[in-house]
Chains A and B, each alone.
Chain A
Amino acid sequence: MTRILATARSEFRISLRNRWVAIAVVLMGLFALVLSAAGSAPTGELGVDRLSVTVASLTSLTVYLVPLLALLMSFDAVAGEVERGTLPLLLTYPVARVEILLGKFLAHLTVLAIAVAVGFALAAAAAFRSDAGSVEGLPALWRLGWSSILLGATFLGAGYALSSLARRPSGAAGLAMGLWLGAVVLYDLGLLAAVVANGDGWFTTTAFPFALLANPADAFRLYNLAASQATSAAAGIAGAANAIPIWQSAASVLVWPVLALALATAAFRKVTP
């Protein structure tokens, strides 16, 4: 445990000095404020409080931004050590590889959590300023908060796995961007195309819900939209959110971080310095 914490402390310090903490906080804060301002139009007409509407918008923001931040912080974790030549020495220390990864993970997750907390707090403050009834939306915001951090954890793990596989920062960066594009953007487009082509066939009725649950980003969106009172305020896959039991999307959100870290550890074990 001391070794994990020591690694986390050093990594957090490096994140501070590399301005990653500042970049993540400013990005999340800025986007949250922009969304709060832009989302002010439909208030009242939907019969829900202001914060619940903001949460629905924040869900769509988070599903793009948090995986991106997580991958940007993690792609260098192993490949960077290989390139700097610091890995061989580190591996001669009496520290297990999984402890090294967990230390980095703890530091990067802390950075993400700070960014998410600042961003969401700003959004909540903006909602409360214009609608005192926003208190009704607080449970949804809380849920969005911790599930965002878990989503970040999943993509941090995936980033470490890619970093170990690529062994060069440039290659790892390419793979990370590919994963982001694939999991967050193209996956939904592909599913949409398949559903349209399939009509009411087997894919749409049987495979589609599982395909949504298999992608951590979609599971995150499903979970927050299904759990939130603001389902009606969100577009897109909101319909599907009602069809899938909430425990299933919650399970996907919870299991993915563990799975991603296990993958990362397995990939890191294969790295020969």
Chain B
Amino acid sequence: MADLTDEELMLAYRDGDAHAFEQLYLKHKGGLYRYFLRKCGNASIAEELFQDVWMKLINARERYEVKAKFATWLYQLAHNHFIDHYRKHSISASMNQNFQDDELENIPAGNNQQPEQQAEFQQQMETMLQLISELPDEQREAFLLREEAGMSLAEIAEVTGVNIETAKSRLRYAVNRLRKGMNDNE
């Protein structure tokens, strides 16, 4: 079972193997959760969206066919659900002001670090997350898909429904902004 690809695991789950789902979930839960968390900046909303997407996947299992990579399909569900959610609630999909508070609650404490180092670590983390939150929505999404799902430019383009050049441009701008921001803060 450990050697199976994501697509094979999903097919196994479609055929009734609950363990296959568990493996898929453990593999993708962190990336998907952070994708939502950093897109909306609110832990409770991120959890709600995260749960909704997995439930959609569970309900759609019988119709699953291997047409693309499993991760591409999963994040496509996530991307569409995120848009639907904000459209339904008539609010901007931009990060809200509670971003830092919610995100910082989830930052693990560096147990092996000295208090000064911990403070520096937390400072760098805060800066990084702040820079990500300041990115335009499209650039932030391209960056998160690359970092959290390990997607190629083509896959990012497929999930977000744009051509490869557009996806490449968005990612390039995002990386430049983050680099400049980090350099300025160091």
Bound together: no
Q: Which residues of B contact A (CB under 8 A)?
A: none
Q: Which residues of A contact B (CB under 8 A)?
A: none
